[in-house]
Amino acid sequence: MPTSAAALKAYFNTGDKPTQTHFEELIDGSLNLNDGGSVTGEVKLKGNTGLTPGDSISDHVGLYKSWISHEGSVTTTNILIDLTGLRSTAANDVIGNNGDSDPAHIGQYTTAKMGTLFAVHMHCLEQPAGGADDINLCFNDSVALEEDDAISGGSNSGTLLNNGTFTAGFHGWAITGFPAANQYFYLVAGDTTDADYTAGVLHIKFYGTTS
């Protein structure tokens, strides 16, 4: 059984003379990046923060969480978003907070953080209500597109996932048509519904290859 941290610290108090066994316990109690190993107890990984949305999203959305995990050569970037408090307006327009002038992107694609994309998965956990329930995942060069701006209003726009109507349990996948590095992701209404969202939870997962 691994020696506890408290016991290891007790071997190295001022004036102590740790033995070879004590040093072996110290080394064996650490996770070695070359040899691998297992960890017993709760493990908290700090620094694996995900994407950062524009203020039109972060200041008004019901929930926005993003995190990253690394497994082998695959980096997975997650976004969990509750649409409550945002608004859709017209088809092919950006979803965001009604009437403000803040950027409404949901994060920027960088290969340094996300790897080189090879797949994207979008899962509807709760059916959108109030606003448009036809929501597409799009991208654009511009960091500054606002709610009700046309996604085509910036440059080099594209649609990564043209989902159609969302229902709870919907799964959508993209394996081609990815944005270029440093472009921004946007949620875009697929139909004209000029209203605030009262419900709707989406989980988006980006899969990237890293060296």
- Give burial (CB, 10 Å; 0-12/13-18/19+) of 87: buried
Domain residue spans in the chain? 1-43, 55-209
Q: Identify the CA nearest to 135 among candidates 197, 182, 85, 77.
A: 197
What is the rounded distance in angstroms from the CA atom of residue 138 to the CA atom of residue 36? 39
Phi, psi of 132 (to 5 degrees): -60, 135
pLDDT at 30 over 80: no
CA distance 106 to 101: 15
**For residue 180, is pLDDT > 70?**
yes
- Lowest-confidence range among 12-26, 145-159, 181-195? 12-26
Task: Kindly tell me if the per-residue pLDDT of 2 is higher than 90.
Answer: no
Is the confidence at residue 45, as pLDDT, over 90?
Answer: no
Task: Read off the pLDDT of residues 123-161 as tens digits, 9 standing for 90 and up.
Answer: 999 999 999 999 999 999 999 999 999 999 999 999 999
Can you say whether the dihedral through the CA atoms of 102, 105, 106, 109 is positive or negative? negative
Nearest to 151 by CA among 114, 82, 96: 96
Tens of pLDDT, residue by residue over 46-61, are 656 899 999 999 998 8
- The yes-or-no verdict on residue 181 having pLDDT over 70 is yes
Nearest to 81 by CA among 203, 209, 205: 203
Higher pLDDT, 93 or 19: 93
pTM for this prediction: 0.82
Confidence of residue 23 (pLDDT cuts 50, 70, 90): confident
Residue 69 region, left (φ>0) first, then alpha (ψ -120 to 50), else beta? beta
